[in-house]
Structure 1
Amino acid sequence: MVPPLVLDIDGTLTDAQGRLDPRAFEYLPSWEAPVVLATGKAFPYPVSLCHYLGLEQTVIAENGGVVLVGGEVSYAGDRDAAQAAADEFVSRGGDLGWDAADTVNRWRETEIAVSLDADEELLREVAASYDLEVIDTGFAYHVKSHGVEKGAGLELVCETMAYDPTDFVAIGDSENDASTFRVVGQSYAVANADDVAKEAADDVLEKSYMDGTLSVLESLSES
Structure 2
Amino acid sequence: MIKLFAVDLDDTLLRDGNIISKEDKQAIRDLEESGVKVVIASGRSEPTLKDVILELGLEKNKHVGVNGALVLDLNGKNEFSKYIDRDTYVNLIERLRSENREFFCYCDGGLMYEHVDKLRPQVEYFHSAKALIKGDVMSIPQCPRVNTYYGDEEELSYVRSICPEGLYSTANSGILDYMPIGLNKFSGLELVLKEYGIDKKDVACIGDQESDLDMFNNCGYSFAVSNCDDFAREAADIVLPRSHNENGVAYAIYKYLLKDEDKLSKI
Q: Tell me whether the two structures share a fold, i.e. TM-score over 0.5.
A: yes
CA distance in 2, matches of 1:29, 1:116: 39
Contact kept, 8 Å, 1:89 with 1:123, in 2: the verdict is: no
Distance 1:116 1:195, change over 3 A: farther
Matched to 1:112, the amino acid is V
Matched, 1:173 2:172: no
Q: Bigger radius of gyration, 1 or 2?
A: 2
- Following superposition, the deviation at residue 141 of structure 1 comes to 1.9
Q: Where does structure 1 lack aligned partners over 5 or more consecutive residues?
A: none
Matched to 1:165, the amino acid is K
CA distance in 2, matches of 1:8, 1:120: 24
TM-score normalized with structure 1 length: 0.85
Which residue matches 1:98?
A: 119
Which residue matches 2:263?
A: none
SS in 1 for 2:258: helix
Which residue matches 2:14?
A: 14
Which residue matches 2:145?
A: 111
Paired residues, number: 220
TM-score normalized with structure 2 length: 0.72
SS in 2 for 1:60: strand
- Following superposition, the deviation at residue 27 of structure 1 comes to 2.3
Q: Where does structure 2 lack aligned partners over 5 or more consecutive residues?
A: 104-117, 134-139, 261-267
- Residues 39-64 of structure 1, C-alpha deviations (whole Å, 9 max, x = no match): 11112222221122111241111111
- Following superposition, the deviation at residue 179 of structure 1 comes to 0.3
Distance 1:186 1:122, change over 3 A: same
Listed as ranges, the matches of 1:112-191 within 5 Å are 112-117=146-151, 119-128=155-164, 130-138=165-173, 140-191=175-226
Listed as ranges, the matches of 1:13-32 within 5 Å are 13-15=13-15, 17-23=16-22, 24-32=24-32
- Following superposition, the deviation at residue 18 of structure 1 comes to 4.0
CA distance in 1, matches of 2:79, 2:53: 18
